[in-house]
A and B are shown apart, each in its own frame.
Chain A
């Protein structure tokens, strides 16, 4: 079963608007990562936030982490049609060894031109 649950499952917005996706997880984590997947392709790493961090920025991306609520959010500002993709959160649990990640179910983002 998936560690994370993402909300919403699908999101459709207009170009230039902001998109916010949420992720909840169940166990204690070392870090949380966000990945993007274009249809039928591999995943691309976007950002990693460690359990002792609360917020992180990378370009138009802003990620927050609330370990007390076991949740994270990904904000994409000024969205573009090229941002259309599925977005997944992935966690590395405290009990995890190696590079094993547990992925959420993903949010399908559609940005309309």
Chain B
């Protein structure tokens, strides 16, 4: 069974641009969560999607958005990029949504904003 796939692996953008990251969950998994990881703030929850609906949202500005498609694939978008958005963005999937679900993570997209 293929794991969680994130594309692209690396991305370099400049301030003010926008970016779209993609995540394909494990087959059969219906929940997709996104996390931002930086050396200073650690791992922070962005949002979770389940059955194409946003289930949870973290404390990030509206420049960060996401969506989930009917095949459970998810995308996240960051508009008007800032230097502070440089981070490793991790996607995780789980079979269902719920507090006892085990998360399966992709390898992440390393975003650098210049």
Contact = CB atoms under 8 A, between A and B. Distances in A.
Interface of A: 2, 30-31, 33, 35, 40-45, 48, 50, 88, 90, 92, 96-106
B57 to A, nearest CB: 9
Given A99-B33, A100-B33, A45 B103 contact: yes
B31 interface: yes
B88 interface: yes
Contacts of B42: 2, 103-106
A19 B52 CA distance: 41
Contact of B103 (A40, A43, A104): A43
Interface stretch (B63-71, B72-80, B92-100): B92-100
Q: What interface size band does chain B fall in?
A: 20 to 34
Given A2-B42, A100-B45, A105-B42, A43 B105 contact: yes
Contacts of A2: 42-43
A96 B102 contact: no
Contact of B102 (A45, A102, A103): A45
Contacts of B92: 42-43
B27 interface: no
26 contacts: A30-B99, A30-B100, A33-B102, A40-B88, A40-B110, A41-B107, A42-B90, A42-B106, A43-B90, A43-B105, A44-B105, A45-B102, A48-B102, A50-B100, A92-B99, A96-B99, A98-B31, A99-B31, A99-B48, A99-B56, A99-B97, A99-B98, A99-B99, A100-B45, A103-B44, A104-B42
Given A98-B99, A100-B48, 5 more contacts: A30-B99, A50-B100, A98-B56, A98-B98, A101-B103
B56 A97 contact: yes
Contacts of A40: 88, 108, 110
B108 A41 contact: yes
